[in-house]
């Protein structure tokens, strides 16, 4: 089972401070399971910077993104939709991955 996930390095500080607690991914990353512990790397350089535990993973459509999701991403809803559209220009079906930061090594 794949136990790694990458994030753009611009989100590292928000993840480490606990301000960002979800991520929206396309279905190519729908294989994660609730309870799974993941090593978190930067997308750009592959540097390990955190460990997280998945709380839940559920399907979501682009038009269902709302203010609560934006808050969990520590950005405005407009910014969240813009980021998702930049990363996935043609996708409408996603998975919502809710996670918590863990300190213990895995
Ligand atoms: C780096 C990589 O492989 N893929 C992604 C995909 C998404 N994110 C972030 C951007 C937003 O905060 C949410 C919404 O998709 O998740 C990311 O850092 N890296």
ipTM of the complex: 0.87
Helix/strand number for the chain, H first, E second: 3, 5
CATH number, domain containing residue 87 = 2.30.130.30
5-25 confidence digits (pLDDT tens): 999 999 999 999 999 999 999
The minimum-distance atom of ligand 1 relative to the CA of 20 is 12
The number of domains in the chain is 1
Q: 47: domain range? A: 4-103
Q: Is the minimum distance from the CB of 8 to ligand 1 under 6 angstroms?
A: yes
Q: Which residues contact 32 (CB under 8 A, 6 or more apart)?
A: 5, 38, 54, 57, 95, 97
Say whether pTM exceeds 0.90: yes
What pLDDT does 106 receive? 52
Residue 102 Cα to ligand 1 midpoint, Å, equals 19
């Amino acid at each position: 089972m794949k136990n790694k996930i990458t994030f753009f390095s611009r989100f590292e500080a928000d993840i480490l401070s606990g301000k960002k607690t979800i991520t929206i991914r396309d279905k190519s990353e729908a294989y994660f399971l609730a309870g799974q512990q993941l090593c978190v790397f930067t997308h750009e350089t592959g540097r390990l910077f955190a460990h997280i535990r998945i709380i839940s993973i559920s399907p979501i459509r682009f038009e269902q993104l709302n203010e609560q999701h934006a808050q969990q991403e520590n950005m405005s809803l407009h910014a969240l939709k813009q980021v998702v559209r930049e990363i996935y220009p043609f996708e409408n079906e996603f998975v919502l991955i809710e996670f918590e930061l863990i300190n213990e090594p895995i």
